[in-house]
Structures are given as structure tokens and as C-alpha cells.
A and B are shown apart, each in its own frame.
Chain A
């Protein structure tokens, strides 16, 4: 039969799970459909009634309620409901109500069961809860599958056999071995593993021979041990290529020995990686450190933006993109302080630059203002040393602003004397915030407790981290207040093609995907991580750690990881689209500008965040009357 109701057929075919059915199956289904219309506010399925149809929302919006009458989920165009009562052959447990005037396609029980029996993917779709659907979507969409950096194990990239030697050979012998084997680096391994268990004693490169031997005019008989690099950074063979890229970026390396268990099996060079990526991000860090003034650093901003766009286009995951962009920000901060010290002279006492918030978490995107602070050694003498650090902070802050990291609107910058203090003062700040969690303290805790020492005497930052790790888990009141604060930023209640539905029933055309999406998950992860004394700062790593504990129910950690990845990727792609078109980059997403894939799965992700928030309330005994933060902050 020629298909007659093309409007209905075409619409079904553009939505899962019908999209994945053979065309003729949908054609045969259409004549069995009934079309009904429900006005806003009217019930579609009552609790306890028999249900004989799968409902497909053609237009409008529907809410599904729990047996208790509490809202379970809201759905819009292209979504289905009613399948659970059909599959279980039971009466309706979760009633459905139209929240907008809605046109529904009703697919009768018999053809529905036949489809579920015949097509596994159809049955799976109908059975899946939101979390499962999101997980499958992340896998099926191939989001992380096309980019060789994401899918190649590092040992597959090793281009040639490893060449090793004893550190006791002469530099001339080293040069001969390298020339004979046509390699640009030589891995030096211990003569006697019994005495020296480290797999790699040192590394020497062509460049080291030139700069450290020939230029100073060392005798050819000099042992290579005297000029080799020690404390060599290595990577395990099972790591992915993008991890090699991030490691090389982090440490500004050009050669990276690869270990299989404890045995060096090869060396990866920048050139090996560059064959797999077009953005040259591995070189970008080196470029940053070669700049000799702020003007030069400011010129790097468009390149970082370009790197971001290319990583997105090459299907890198959010973890890699966040880490790469953060690494650029950190490198620029580091280089600025090097330049600052050159201008102002060496620091009078040891100090450390703290990265805070998204930079510390390795989660920067293109929209990030600067958050930083100085921790000085306790030998700091305000009278004598304050002017130096004040000037250095100003140099850093102005420089960052020039480089595309605008001044922090909340004044969380080392230019503020409060955030430029010796480590003992910082310790009293941190203790005080934990002991007296008033709104301001909680706001500060949520910014400063995501900290990383990125320049100078990083041991000072380590002391502060240690204090948090020891004090926070033992302080239930602080955790409860922090948990309460983490509930202030909620994902949207409903999410439709043309608008977002807010908790107060208002419709909004845009919403902030950072404030309403990724930040609530980072907030959740922080509370759980502080509760269990987890060391990582990065949200993904925190969730991986928390997952191991009993803080989260089985599977919840994985669901949150999936939700976080999806929300971050939608946000990152949104920014990449804006950056590519030359628009001002922000986090304000218009639902209609998203693909239906993104919209549908964002909804699933928000659902997971909402459930995790409800659980947080319960887990940390959050009471509504509890003293809380007035605002959740822009951080």
C-alpha cells in the first residue's frame, strides 16, 4: 500500500526509536495509530487505569507523576510514554497529564508488543531508564570514537624499537649509538636493576648533547650521566594517545619514554603525536614559554581558541579539551610570573601561585575569568615584602586580562591583599570557613577548596590541601551546609524545543548551561569528595573516586559521569560554534539551536542531576531551615 499519511510517517521516522525501524515497518504502523488531543491540565492516564496504548507526543508537553503525585519527568515533542504499563501488562502506576495543549499519537498495544518482540533496539529503548539511554547515547553517537588520539593506545604509536644504554657511557658513545640507530633520544637504564629499581635513570636528546655538552665544550669522555635529564616522566603503554599529549603539554616535553609494566619499550616524540592531530597543541605550550613579553603572550589567545575548535571538531572528549585549555591558561600564568620576576627581581621569600576553580579542576573552556591567589612562606614580612607581591600580582592580573582571561568580578585575585597572604594566615582562613560555614564562608570554600599550586613553591599549596583533606571529612555540619549550597543551582525542570521550563513554571528562551548543568555536578562532586577525603580536584576524577566509596548507590557514579560528559560536551560545542562564527562566546544556550540528539539527552542528563541532588539532601541531612548561602555564585 502506498503510504498516505506522510506527515505522521515522516514525523515518527525522525524520532527514536522509530527512526531505527525499517521504513516499511513504520509504514505498516501508521494505519493503526489514533490521534488525540489533550488540553493543558487534563489527565491523559490516570493512576490505576488500564492502558492500551503507547503515547507519542507530536506537539505539546506532558508530565509524568510519581505514585505519590510528585513530578517524575516532563516530556516534549518526539517522546514516548505509557510503555511501562504495556510491557508489564499492569495498570498505570505513573499518571500522565498534559501541561500544554498536546497532540498525541496513540499506538495500540498489539503492534507495540509486536515491535518490541521483533526489534531488540526498539524493546531496549522502551525498557531503558534515562540513565541507560544517556550512556548508550554517549557510546553510540561515536563522540569519542573518530579521533585517533582518543582511541589509540600509546604502545601502538611507538614508531621504532627502543634504544637504551648505561648512564655510565661517554657522551661520545651516546652520540655514536644515537647516530647508528637514527634516533633523537637515548633512554639510559640502570646497569644493575637490583641496586636501582627505577625503570629509567635518565634521558638524553640531540638537543641536550648540543646545549649541555658542545656549547659548554665538555670533553667527549664526559659520562652521559652528567648531562642527562633525570626524574624522567614516563607513561604506561596502556595509556591513550591523548594522555601522552596532555602529559607532554603539562611538562612541556618533546620525548616521553613508554613503559610496559616496569620495562621501557619505546619513546614517543612530539612528532609521533603530531601525525595524529592537526592542532599542534603539543607545540603550543612551548610557544607560550618562548614569548618574551605580555604582547607576545596576548597573541597566543587566538591560537588557544583555534586549538579548542579543532579539538571539538576532532571529537575529543570534554576531559581532554578541558585539560588542554586549562594547561594553556596555566602555562600563560606561569610564563607571566617568569616575566614578572624578570622585571621586578627574584621574590624576597618563597611563594606559590594558586589556580582556583575551573583552572584548578582542569575544566576551563573559552569562557573563564581569572581566579588566583598567592600563598607566601611564613617568613613573609609585610613591611618589607608586601610591595613586591602587590606589584607581582598586578603584573599577573593585568597580563591575564590582556591574554583573554578577564578580571574576576568577585575579586578572587591575588591583587586583593586578602588573597595574598602567608600560609599560616591561609590556614586560619580555611579552618574558619570549615568551622563557621556561613554563606560567605561556603562561597569561598566552593571556590578556594578547588585549588592547585601551579607556580613557585607548590609545597605551600600542598599544605593547604592537606588541611582540607584532614579537616573537612570530620565536620558534618560544614558538609551539610556545603551540600545545601550545592542544591541552590538546579537543572531546568523541563526542556523543550523552544523553551526551558523553570521550577516556578516560567518559560525561558535561554539558559546557562554552566550554571544549570555542569556546575551543579561539580558542586555535588565536591561535597562527596570532601566527605571522603578524596585528593583529586577534577570533577571526573572526583566522581571516579567517590564511586569507589559507599557514598553513592551502585551505578549512580557512572550515571553522573555520563551526565557530566554530555552536559560539558554540549556546552563546549555551543562555544565552539560561537567561536567559529566569530560571535561572543558564552554559556547561554538556546534550546532550539541544539540538535534533537543533544536536546533529548540533555533532558536525560538533567534528570540524573536532579536525582543526585535529592540524594545529596538526604545523605548529608540537609534541613530546609539550615543557614545557607544566599547565592550560589557565578563560579
Chain B
């Protein structure tokens, strides 16, 4: 498949104008509509930003060889999570079944046959994402797999502003691995940034892992706690966005 590859956007990204550019390039009507909904300007205070906590469960970490198997999301604001907007789908991967683990996180092949393919849920996902800033823990998975899937289905690029709760956690606890001498001096590894461990530090309850919606909810709650801990309602959204330019 040949497709137009847009150059990497400069950083920090001016998302509203970036969305204008992408909208013009997009061919698929659903993708076009997504960009048309626009993006919040970088100086928007947190209290005015609608967020969508999103989690994808995949068969592995490589978007080239692995597939999306479930999608969960839940909308939120800086101070509350809205359970009414929560959705969850188990999706049927497109790849040759034998390449994929027989049982992925409790989802068996026979059950999966009854599930929709990713292309049938994509419109609903895009609709939910429209106008929202995405929140995810370790957002590389969500970005890369979504871009790959959208590119394959439509040939269009999918880029969107994202807040990564793991990256925000790493600002508070920069990764530090002491050498032998430092260890001898009593220094310790920086605390784990994994979702469950980060949540524990904020007195958030333990959840069963590997359910896309539960993980989205877990990230959303972690984000509520991080906002209270490290930001104010007037902090501009640009201060929270994932700092890396998007790559497909």
C-alpha cells in the first residue's frame, strides 16, 4: 500500500493547526470528521479539557506483527470520570490465527469468532475521541497500534494529542538505577512506573489487569490523582501532553 507520509510535526505541536493540516490530507470521511472536530489549544486550562482514557489490549508489543484484541475507553474531566460514556469491545484480529497465542488474557478463539472486527468499531472510537485529549498509561501502544490500524484501513494518518500517565509519573520519579557504589551507599531504584504500582502510591485500589476498559478506568483514576498531586485546574494542557512528536 502506498500512502502519503506527512513529515513529523514540530514540537511542541500546535494541535489545532496540525488538525487543520491533517483534515485537508485525510480522504476517509470518518477520519476527516475526527479532525474537523478540532483539538483544544495548548493554553487551554485543565478544567476546560475533555479527556478520553483509552486502553488497547494487543497480542504483543510490535504493531507490525501483533494485533489489537480489545478496546476500552471512558470519558473524563479533570475532576471526574463519567461512567456513562464507557465502552468496551473485544475485536477479532485480522492476522493468521496460528501466529497469535491461543488464549489471550482469557479470550479464546471460539469467543473471538463472535466478535466484531476492528473496522466496524473504528467509527465509534473516532467519534468518542473527537474533541478529546486521550489519556493512556504507556501511550506508545495506543498511538502505534491505532496509527497502524487506521493506515491499513483508510490510508490516512491518525495523530492526536495524548497525556501519558506513565510519563507524568516519571516526571515525579525520574528513572534512576544506582550503580554498585550508590547501592552500597543505600541508594535505591526509582519506584516502579507500572500502572498497578503507580496507583498504589495514590492509595487507589488494586484492579484485575488485562481488561481494556478496567485498564482505561485505572489510568483515568490515576490521572485524577496525578492532577490533584502535581497540577492545578488552571495548568495549561500543553504542560501535560506527551512531549514526543508522534511517529507512525
List chain A positions with a Cβ less than 8 A from chain B. Answer: 4-8, 30-39, 42, 58-60, 77, 100-103, 106
**Considering the complex of A and B, which 9 residue pairs feature the smallest CB-CB distances, nearest first?**
A35-B81, A101-B203, A37-B224, A31-B84, A59-B205, A34-B80, A33-B83, A4-B88, A39-B228
- In the complex, residue of chain A having the shortest beta-carbon distance to the beta carbon of B80: A34
Q: From residue 17 to 61 of chain B, which have CB atoms closer than 8 A to chain A? A: none
Of residues 157 through 205 on chain B, the ones whose CB sits less than 8 Å from some CB of chain A are 202-205
- Option from B203, B208, B224 in Cβ contact (under 8 Å) with A7: B208
Contacts of A100 in B (CB 8 A): 203
Interface assignment of B211: CB less than 8 Å from any CB of chain A: yes
A5 contacts B228, C-beta separation under 8 Å: no
Cβ contact within 8 Å between B83 and A103: no
Given contacts A5-B74, A37-B204, A101-B202, 12 further A-B contacts (CB under 8 A): A5-B83, A5-B86, A5-B214, A5-B217, A6-B211, A7-B208, A35-B217, A36-B224, A37-B202, A37-B228, A77-B205, A101-B203
Does B221 sit within 8 A of A, measured CB to CB? Answer: yes
Q: How far is the CB of B163 from chain A (nearest CB, A)?
A: 16
Q: Which residue of A lies closest to B87 (CB)?
A: A4
User: How far is A4 from B84 in the complex, measured between Cα atoms in Å?
Assistant: 10
- Chain B residues near A102 (CB-CB < 8 A): 203
Q: Which residue of A lies closest to B218 (CB)?
A: A7
CB of B231 within 8 A of chain A? no
Q: How far is the CA of A30 from the CA of B217 in the complex (A)?
A: 13
Min CB distance B156 to A, Å, is: 29
Smallest Cβ-Cβ distance to B89: which chain A residue: A4
Taking CB atoms, residues of chain A closer than 8 Å to B214 are: 5-7
B82 proximity list for chain A (CB < 8 A): 34
- Nearest-neighbour CB distance to chain B for A53, whole angstroms, equals 10
Q: Which residues of B contact A7 (CB under 8 A)?
A: 207-208, 214, 217
Determine if B83 and A30 form an interchain contact, defined as CB atoms under 8 angstroms apart. yes
* B8 CB-CB contact with A under 8 Å: no
**B228 to A4, Cβ gap below 8 A?**
no
Looking at the assembled complex, report how far the CB atom of B57 sits from the nearest CB atom of chain A, in whole angstroms: 14
Docked Cα-Cα span, A39 to B229, in Å, equals 8
Q: Kindly report which residue of chain B lies nearest to residue A36, judged by CB atoms.
A: B80
Complex Cα–Cα for A102 and B204 (A): 7
Give the docked Cα–Cα distance between A425 and B118 (Å). 93
Say what secondary structure dominates the interface of chain A: mixed
The chain A residue with its CB closest to the CB of B83 is A33
Give CA–CA (A38, B211) in the complex, Å. 25
Chain B residues, CB < 8 A from A31 = 83-84, 86
- Asked whether any CB of chain A lies closer than 8 Å to the CB of B141, the reply is no
How far apart sit A34 and B225, CA to CA, in the bound complex (Å)? Answer: 15
Residue in B closest to A104 when the chains form the complex, CB atoms: B80
Cα distance, A103 to B224, chains bound together (Å)? 9
A-B contact pairs, 8 of them (CB 8 A): A4-B72, A7-B217, A31-B84, A35-B81, A35-B217, A36-B79, A59-B205, A103-B204
Cα-based distance from A6 to B218 in the complex (angstroms): 12
- Rounded to whole angstroms, the CA-CA distance of A33 and B214 in the bound complex is 15
A34/B207 in contact, CB under 8 A? no
B220 within 8 A of A: yes
Closest residue of chain A to B201 (Cβ to Cβ) is A101
Q: 1/0 per residue B72-110: CB within 8 Å of A?
A: 101000011111101110000000000000000000000
Most chain A CB within a 10 A radius of its CB, from B203, B214, B224, B225:
B203
* Distance of A59 Cα from B207 Cα, bound (Å): 12
B67 touches A (CB below 8 Å): no
CB pair B213–A4 under 8 Å, yes or no, is yes
How far, in Å, is A82 (CB) from chain B's closest CB?
15
Tell me the residues in window 115-129 of chain B with beta carbons closer than 8 Å to chain A beta carbons.
none
A59 and B204 contacting across the interface, CB-CB below 8 Å: yes
CB proximity of B217 to chain A, nearest CB, Å:
6
Closest chain-A Cβ to B93's Cβ sits at a distance in Å of 21
Report the minimum CB–CB distance from B65 to chain A (whole Å).
29
Chain B residues with Cβ below 8 Å from A6 are: 211, 213-214
Complex Cα gap A35–B51 (Å): 14
Whether A35 and B203, one on each chain, are in contact in the complex, defined by CB atoms closer than 8 angstroms, is no
Measured CB to CB, the nearest residue on chain A to B212 is: A4
Among A31, A42, A100, A102, the most chain B Cβ lie within 10 Å of the Cβ of A31
Q: How far is the CA of A4 from the CA of B208 in the complex (A)?
A: 14
Return chain B residues, CB-CB under 8 Å to A106. 80
Residue-wise, chain B 130-159 has the 8 Å CB interface mask toward A (1 for contact) of: 000000000000000000000000000000
Given known A-B contacts A4-B87, A30-B83, A35 and B202 have beta carbons under 8 A apart: no
- Residue of A30, A33, A38, A58 touching B205 (CB-CB under 8 A): A58
How far is it, in angstroms, between the C-alpha of A31 and the C-alpha of B82 when the chains are bound? 8
- A32 vs B81: C-alpha distance when bound (angstroms): 11
Shortest distance between the CB of A514 and any CB in chain B (Å): 31
Partner of A37, one of B72, B88, B225: B225
A103-B84 contact in complex given A6-B211, A7-B214, A35-B221, C-beta closer than 8 Å: no
Q: What per-residue 1/0 map shows which CB atoms of B224-242 lie under 8 Å from chain A?
A: 1100110000000000000
User: What residue of chain A has the Cβ atom nearest to residue B222's Cβ?
Assistant: A37
CA distance A4 to B71 in the complex (A): 12
- CB neighbours (8 Å) of B86 from chain A are 4-5, 31
- Enumerate chain B residues within 8 angstroms of A59, measured Cβ to Cβ: 203-205
Instruction: List A contacts of B72 (CB < 8 A).
Output: 4
Complex Cα distance, B213 from A58, in Å, reads 18
Complex-state Cα separation, A493 to B139, whole angstroms: 43
Interchain CB contact (< 8 A) of B83 among A8, A39, A58, A60? A8
Please give the distance in Å from B103's CB to the nearest CB on chain A.
Answer: 19
Which chain B positions have C-beta within 8 A of A34?
A: 80-83
Whether A35 contacts B220 by the Cβ 8 Å rule is yes
Greatest chain B CB density within 10 A among A6, A58, A77 is at A6
Q: Report the separation of the CA atoms of residues A8 and B220 in the bound assembly, to the nearest whole angstrom.
A: 14
- Chain B residues within an 8 Å CB radius of A35: 80-81, 83, 217, 220-221, 224
Taking the closest CB of chain B, its distance from the CB of A88, in whole angstroms, is 25
Nearest to B208 among chain A residues (CB) is: A7
Cβ–Cβ < 8 Å partners of B207 in chain A: 7
Task: Specify which of B74, B83, B214 lies most central, judged by the most chain A CB atoms within 10 Å of its CB.
Answer: B83
Q: Which residue of B lies closest to A9 (CB)?
A: B83
Chain A hits for B80, CB < 8 A: 34-36, 106
Cβ of A42: which chain B residues have Cβ within 8 Å of it? 228
Q: Chain A residues near B224 (CB, 8 Å)? A: 35-37
Report how far A529 CA is from B83 CA in the complex, Å.
55
A103 B87 Cβ-Cβ under 8 A: no
Q: Give the residues in chain A near B221, CB-CB below 8 Å.
A: 35, 37, 103
CA gap between A34 and B224 in the complex, in Å: 12
Q: In whole Å, how far is A10's beta carbon from the nearest beta carbon of chain B?
A: 9
Contacts of B84 in A (CB 8 A): 31-32
Report how far A426 CA is from B45 CA in the complex, Å: 80
B202 neighbours in A (Cβ, 8 Å): 37, 101
Which residue from chain B places its CB closest to the CB of A61 in the assembled complex?
B203
Distance of A34 Cα from B80 Cα, bound (Å): 6
Name the B residues within 8 Å of A60 (CB-CB).
Answer: 203
Shortest beta-carbon distance from A316 to chain B in Å: 37
| Shortest distance between the CB of A437 and any CB in chain B (Å) | 47
Bound CA span A31–B88, Å = 13
Residue in B88, B205, B208, B213 whose CB lies within 8 Å of A103: B205
Interchain CA distance A7-B55 in the complex, whole Å: 15
Q: Bound state CA distance, A37 and B221, in angstroms?
A: 7
Least Cβ–Cβ distance between B211 and chain A, in angstroms? 7
Contacts of B229 in A (CB 8 A): 39
Residues in B with CB closer than 8 Å to A39 are 225, 228-229
Residues of A within 8 A of B225 (CB): 37, 39, 101
Taking the closest CB of chain B, its distance from the CB of A58, in whole angstroms, is: 6
Cα distance A39–B202 in the bound complex, in angstroms: 9
